[in-house]
Amino acid sequence: MFKRFLSAVTVSLFLLPSSEKLLTQTTVPDHKSAAERYRNIQVLTDVPEDELIPAMQFMTYALGVECSYCHMEGALEKDDKKTKLIARKMMRMMLAINRDNFDSKQMVTCNSCHRGASRPVSIPMIVESGAKPSFETPPEAEATANAPSPGDVIAKYLDAIGGAAALSKVKTRQEKGTITISGRNLPVEIITSTGGKQFTLVHLSNGDSITAYDGKSGWSSAPNRPAHPIPSIESISARTETDLQLPMHMKQLFDQVKSMPPENIGDRQTYVVAGFNTGEIAAKFYFDKDSGYLLRILRYTKTPLGQSPTQIDNDNYRDQDGLKVPFLRTISRPNSRIAIRIDEVKFNVPVDDARFAIPAGSR
């Protein structure tokens, strides 16, 4: 059942995976604490209700497990599994380490020890023959000394895709193609509008899976399941993907934008620009050194237990009505990867804003 649910939900581009069903909910108004909304919460009791699911999701990433590793299927609030009791102890330990040693900053997380394994490896590994650990990485200041300024990198990208004048004329974009997940190819339609609005519809054999953002919040639905809000911290993080005119708005999305050390993506050299909010990195953008194209977005969703990454790789840029558009996108998370191949792109298609809003009575 967990596997079937995961397959249905991950079809939606930005929807949280199987931890969406992690806890048994009670019917209460929004803006409650986790303990007020969910049953038998003993740790993270004071976090906002919509931040608990992303925190549980982060744990599945860090340990490389599914919800059923700790929870009883059909009775998720029960404490019958020893792993659930241990998880509580580990969370308390982690919170205490950060509180007592790092002024409650999120320096130590589940991933600090687990690194994708349910049991941390306590013995150092022997490096394979011929491989050498690198201790000579140049300091960031030195690595970025010769890199272009963030403004220059973004300006080159904007010019490469067609220029500010052309992009500013685009108010909506409709994309149709195929999404590939777990070996299945499914029809997908993505409608993006100015103001950070986006509507993604995936046609499944038993109905449609929908993920939508209205510029401030998001929601999702799956076949035979009512629409429900996407956690606010995930909606905020997803703004880098839903902004139709991203290169024109990057400085508005972040408190600070600055250059990072250059990196390679395969055999392509990239300039890296990072966006920071409240002093913490929120997203990194990888621009091809030669073409200027945006090859990758790596965005972070800040949860109560750590930052969950989402990586979007863009490829196969093509000209469409005077603008360059990536016709291949790969969206990866620690436990999933989906590919979207675009077959058709249209600009300025009339779209009713009501389409982005969560259906009435869904909350």
Tens digits of per-residue pLDDT, 209-228?
999 999 999 999 999 888 99
Assign residue 20 the CATH number of its domain. 1.10.468.10
Give 42's strand partners.
Answer: none
Number of domains in the chain: 2
Positions of E strands within the chain: 172-181, 184-193, 197-204, 207-214, 218-222, 225-230, 256-265, 268-277, 280-288, 294-303, 306-320, 323-333, 336-347
d(C-alpha 39, C-alpha 27), whole Å: 11
Chain segment 266-278, per-residue pLDDT in tens: 999 999 999 999 8
The conformation of residue 163, written as its DSSP 8-state character, comes to -
Residues 106 and 163 in one domain: no
Q: Which domain holds residue 88?
A: 2-114
Is residue 135, in this structure, part of any structural domain at all? no
Q: Are residues 275 and 180 in the same domain?
A: yes
DSSP 40: T
Q: Please tell me whether residues 266 and 302 are part of one structural domain.
A: yes
Q: Which of 209, 168, 198, 163 has the alpha carbon at shortest distance from 8?
A: 209
List, for residues 226-274, the tens digit of each pLDDT value: 899 999 999 999 999 999 999 999 989 999 999 999 999 999 999 999 9
Residue 129, in any domain of the structure: no
Q: What is the CATH number of the domain that holds 270?
A: 2.50.20.10
How far is it, in rounded angstroms, from Cα 100 to Cα 105?
10
Same domain? For 69 and 150 the reply is no
Alpha helices (runs of H) in the chain, residue ranges in sequence order: 2-10, 34-37, 49-63, 82-101, 110-114, 140-143, 150-160, 164-168, 232-237, 239-242, 246-253
Prediction pTM value? 0.85
Tokens of 254: 């972040």
